[in-house]
Structure 1
Amino acid sequence: MYTGPQTFGEIVEHRAKLRPYDRFIRFLDDELTYGEYHQQGNQVANAALSLGLRKGDSCAVMLPNSREFLITWLGLARIGAIEVPINTGFRGDLLAYILNQARCQSIVIQSDWIERINDLANQLQYLKQVIVVGALPEQKSNLFTWYSFEQLISQASDHRIEASIQANDPSLILFTSGTTGPSKGVVLTHSANFSLAHTACEVMEYKREDRLFTVFPLFHVNARYTTVLVALLVGCDVVMHDRFSASKFWDICRKEGITAFNFMGSMLTILMKQKQQANDDDHSVRKAYGAPTPIEIYEDFKQRFQVEITEVYGSTELGTVAANPAKQFRKGACGKILPIYEVEIHDENNQPCPVGKSGEIVVRPKKPGIMFTDYYGNAEATIKAWQDLWFHTGDTGRLDEDGYLYFIDRKKDVVRRRGENISSYEVERVINDHPQVLEAAIIGVPSELSEEEVLAAVIVKEGEKLSPENLLNFCQSRMAHFAIPRYIRFVKSLPRTPSQRVEKYKLRTEGITDDTWDREQIGFQVKR
């Protein structure tokens, strides 16, 4: 395990000196050794300096998982510039908001998406330079200076940059999803990123012999710090793809010799919904890391695929707060609180709840430098999040007598129906267990009686048929009567973030559509 200076440039240089010709990352059609990574990161650093970027300046990066993204990450880290990774799906007002909010004076962007910058040219207050990976456009705004990424790199020196970069220096600004308001820019230091990576290494017991697989994007904390940085810490290598394919997943793992993968959202459920094969356990994968773990499929997943599951609880701001390692796994829990954090459950008056009672999960660190410093340029949001010197997660949960943390739901995803608080997560778990269901998402929609009603957006497995009545009959013996959905909407897909989380705000915006089934109109009776 690497124990040197906790900055990204230092750890890459350390690995490059030890094993310059060993493979570090394999993409779909490209590979990068430790030595190449170190050298090309230096080239990006020198190119960035030639354009006037300096320590503390912010530079946006809008690229797919690729060599160019990795070496840009490293090059910016080497000079102390603050990287602003941007979701490749963003465009329009949201893209303009992020570039302005983070005061980005430069952006490195794939040529396919240049029109998004041209369209916003008059709205961008700070952007001066556009560095294009791929062909430069014929039509481009004269408000910016345009550069070819490839040309800059080919002309740049690969000598080492002598910059004073400290572990507590800001490394990047990651913007949250912004589903309840404007996206917030989470400022993370090198030490916070290393804390998250060290925790993943410890709970997963990663070794140099491991080969990690990720399908998550490099503009997300998961791929960056629980896969790429983890691999640098232990000296193993990574296979990185652009997206999750359930039908090809295990074939990829077999071909690449994968020993561990990360999961998020509904990945485990979707893998379990695939048609059973005789060789489901014929692969080298030994363990998986992520959240959440549906307890209904936990044992079956382990037995079918012979993979041990470790669940964690955390956020972009905090890193990992609680861990439920495979060897001490407690079904239904997120795990025990890590020694580096203190956690309480608070009620609506910000008072601690007794053991077993649910409320908001609030957190504070026991060590310096392990979590975010602030929301960039947003003092009001930072102060609000730190009420009474506790970081308020916006999640509801509870603690048991043994100190295990249980996640219930995001506060904004709890459905309030006729005086009852309904966990969308718990309802989804039941519906997802139906043999004809591929996946479901639960939201609250306005009720004519005030508060909300429960709507289930459901994807039926390919080739299967399912009636709303059949689904609700399945629910009757498995959940409280007041939690049974009033509305059922069958959909072909669910809107998702790149980390595979369902974008429920989009479902709420659509609301009750013309094709939504209403059990009260049909006269379906719910048993009490």
Structure 2
Amino acid sequence: MYKGLETFRAIVEYRAAQQPQERFIQFEQESLTYQEWNDNGNKAANAAQRLGLRKGDTFAVMLPNGPEFLSIWLGLAKLGVIEVPINTALKGDSLEYILNKAECKAIVVSSEWIERIIAWKDELIHLEHIIVVGENVAKTSHAFHWHSFDGLLKQEDSTLPVEADIQPDDPSVILFTSGTTGPSKGVVLSHRANFSVAKTACGLMNYGEDDRLFTVFPLFHVNARYTTVLVALLMDCDVVMHNRFSASRFWDICRRENITAFNFMGSMLTILMKQPERPDDAENPVKKAFGAPTPTEIYPDFQERFGIEISEVYGSTELGTVATNPAAMFRKGACGQIVSIYECEIHDEAGFPCPVGQSGEIVVRPKQPGIMFTEYYGNPEATVQSWQDLWFHTGDTGRMDEAGYLYFVDRKKDVIRRKGENISSYEVERVINDHPNIYESAIIGVPSELAEEEVLAVIVLKAGEELEHEELLDFCQKRMAHFAVPRYIRFVEKLPRNTSQRVEKYKLRNEGVTEDTWDRELVGYKVQRT
């Protein structure tokens, strides 16, 4: 890592000057050298400037992983225009909300998603320019200025310098939260905050120039951007990037591309572990992986089967990484110890610190300036609300042990309150997912006829497997408290997910108890209080 290179523009330009023909990234079909990337970034910056974009303006990007995304990301960073990456699954009022909330003046979008923009043309009050990647699209609306991405870049000189003063504390990006617990908020991050995330990952994983990083996560997400791409820039290693996670092809890709490390999120490790065993499972070049959550029930078996070391982290879009649980000193069930740049406490409902071992809300504050988010864009009320008593409130519940290890319990929204007991959906899911016939599950709370909530398990079975409801409850009774055993069970083909592989539980809550949901009370199944 190089001191003084603390903006995205600076680090890419440095690499391009030092090793212009070195390959930096390999997509599924295309690759990009440092020089190619920097040249395209210059063209994109000058094209945006020609369209009237200036430092501090906001610019939406709705693209799959590919060279175009990297080029526009770099171009906007060179110019000081604030990038607004958009989840490519969004449509309708969710898409309209982000474009208006972030006051985007322009958007670069894949041609396949143009109709999603046009459908809301009368409501998009700030949007002026639509830049299309892919097939030429007819100008179906006169409400905007239309451009071809390739056409714009062909008009620009890659050697023409971009005149803009970019500082580490300037806003770099607005990343909208997934909105699983409420309206999506635009998290404003500076270059310094982004570099803080990357540097923490570098230290945790001890990356070096011989590493090759693999990501299947989208470039509109922190994981791919700042714990893969920016990490590789800092450590002088390269990246292999795909658009989707394929469990059946994952290890073959790692072997073919000589991958040494990857990041994981959501149920990725569990899904990989449930793939049919192969005699060559451990014969792969991967040495290490990090992410969250790490399922404790498969942690040692996964490492032994695939021959890799797993580290865990805890953090958020707003904060970056707050706690790390390195493989060399891994503590089962914990997220790890708090990183040196943050303070962390557990607070009760009244805002007082909880005793060791007692659950409460995880609250955090920085020890250094500029390392976390600046604000929620256009939402001062939410910004102020998140900072109570000079602590940032994460909305997560957790606890600390005597050694200072942090333990995640659940999202506050996902804690189920049943007959006076607090139930962690995360803990119930861990038990249920350990059943050999089950692929994955999601646990939610649904309204009770009496008061508070009942537990509903939404379950995806492995292909070709069957499971009786009573058999599952028998399995649960041996492994969890009686009050946590689900009352309702519903089998589905798949769980609703966002592109970060997080289950969209709000959709399941909205559906609630459906006609195909099984109720143990209706059939007289009794849970033993032992």
TM score, norm. by length of structure 2? 0.99
Query: How far, CA to CA, are the matches of 1:469 and 1:297 in structure 2?
Result: 25
- Aligned residue for 1:27? 27
- Aligned residue for 2:342? 341
Query: How far, CA to CA, are the matches of 1:221 and 1:303 in structure 2?
Result: 29
- Does structure 2 conserve the Cα–Cα contact (< 8 Å) formed by 1:41 and 1:71? yes
- Aligned residue for 2:332? 331
- Aligned residue for 1:450? 451
The alignment covers a number of residue pairs equal to 528
Secondary structure of the corresponding residue to residue 123 of structure 1:
coil
- Aligned residue for 2:130? 130
- Does structure 2 conserve the Cα–Cα contact (< 8 Å) formed by 1:444 and 1:454? yes
Query: How far, CA to CA, are the matches of 1:322 and 1:380 in structure 2?
Result: 27
Secondary structure of the corresponding residue to residue 160 of structure 1:
coil
What amino acid is the match of 1:148?
Answer: S
Secondary structure of the corresponding residue to residue 310 of structure 1:
strand
- Does structure 2 conserve the Cα–Cα contact (< 8 Å) formed by 1:265 and 1:500? yes
What are the within-5 Å matches in structure 2 for residues 75-474 of structure 1?
A: 75-158=75-158, 159-474=160-475
Query: How far, CA to CA, are the matches of 2:416 and 2:2 in structure 1?
Result: 46
1:375 Cα deviation after fit: 0.3
1:137 Cα deviation after fit: 1.7
Query: How far, CA to CA, are the matches of 2:181 and 2:441 in structure 1?
Result: 21
Query: How far, CA to CA, are the matches of 2:239 and 2:469 in structure 1?
Result: 43
Secondary structure of the corresponding residue to residue 376 of structure 2:
coil
Secondary structure of the corresponding residue to residue 238 of structure 1:
strand
1:497 Cα deviation after fit: 1.1
What amino acid is the match of 1:277?
Answer: R
What amino acid is the match of 1:440?
Answer: S
Q: Deviations over 1:90-118 (max 9, x none)?
A: 11111111111100000000000001111
Query: How far, CA to CA, are the matches of 2:56 and 2:176 in structure 1?
Result: 18
1:178 Cα deviation after fit: 1.8
- Does structure 2 conserve the Cα–Cα contact (< 8 Å) formed by 1:2 and 1:234? no
Query: How far, CA to CA, are the matches of 1:213 and 1:463 in structure 2?
Result: 31
Secondary structure of the corresponding residue to residue 296 of structure 1:
coil
- Aligned residue for 1:9? 9
1:179 Cα deviation after fit: 2.6
Secondary structure of the corresponding residue to residue 395 of structure 1:
strand
Secondary structure of the corresponding residue to residue 345 of structure 1:
strand
What amino acid is the match of 1:197?
Answer: A
- Does structure 2 conserve the Cα–Cα contact (< 8 Å) formed by 1:363 and 1:393? yes
Q: Which moved more, 1:496-505 or 1:129-138?
A: 129-138
What amino acid is the match of 2:238?
Answer: D
Secondary structure of the corresponding residue to residue 198 of structure 1:
helix
Secondary structure of the corresponding residue to residue 269 of structure 1:
helix
- Aligned residue for 2:506? 505
1:167 Cα deviation after fit: 0.1
Runs of 4+ aligned residues of structure 1 deviating over 4 Å after TM superposition are: none
What are the within-5 Å matches in structure 2 for residues 509-520 of structure 1?
A: 509-520=510-521
Query: How far, CA to CA, are the matches of 1:97 and 1:465 in structure 2?
Result: 42
1:139 Cα deviation after fit: 4.5
What amino acid is the match of 1:494?
Answer: L
Query: How far, CA to CA, are the matches of 1:144 and 1:468 in structure 2?
Result: 55
Query: How far, CA to CA, are the matches of 1:246 and 1:274 in structure 2?
Result: 7
Secondary structure of the corresponding residue to residue 49 of structure 1:
helix
Query: How far, CA to CA, are the matches of 1:211 and 1:20 in structure 2?
Result: 18
1:135 Cα deviation after fit: 2.2
Secondary structure of the corresponding residue to residue 104 of structure 1:
coil
Query: How far, CA to CA, are the matches of 1:140 and 1:171 in structure 2?
Result: 32
Unmatched 5+ residue regions in structure 1?
none
Q: Deviations over 1:474-526 (max 9, x none)?
A: 11110000000001111110011111110000111111111111111111111
- Does structure 2 conserve the Cα–Cα contact (< 8 Å) formed by 1:343 and 1:364? yes
CA RMSD of aligned residues (A): 0.7
Secondary structure of the corresponding residue to residue 122 of structure 2:
helix
Query: How far, CA to CA, are the matches of 2:276 and 2:523 in structure 1?
Result: 34
What amino acid is the match of 1:239?
Answer: V
Unmatched 5+ residue regions in structure 2?
none
What amino acid is the match of 2:130?
Answer: V
1:180 Cα deviation after fit: 2.9
- Does structure 2 conserve the Cα–Cα contact (< 8 Å) formed by 1:4 and 1:11? no
Secondary structure of the corresponding residue to residue 121 of structure 2:
helix
- Aligned residue for 2:18? 18
- Does structure 1 conserve the Cα–Cα contact (< 8 Å) formed by 2:139 and 2:146? no
What amino acid is the match of 1:394?
Answer: G
Secondary structure of the corresponding residue to residue 121 of structure 1:
coil
1:3 Cα deviation after fit: 2.4
Identity percentage of aligned residues: 69
What amino acid is the match of 2:205?
Answer: M
Secondary structure of the corresponding residue to residue 304 of structure 1:
helix
What amino acid is the match of 1:176?
Answer: T
Query: How far, CA to CA, are the matches of 1:504 and 1:444 in structure 2?
Result: 10
Query: How far, CA to CA, are the matches of 2:365 and 2:262 in structure 1?
Result: 29
1:5 Cα deviation after fit: 2.3
What amino acid is the match of 1:14?
Answer: Y
1:181 Cα deviation after fit: 2.5
What amino acid is the match of 1:173?
Answer: I
- Aligned residue for 2:55? 55
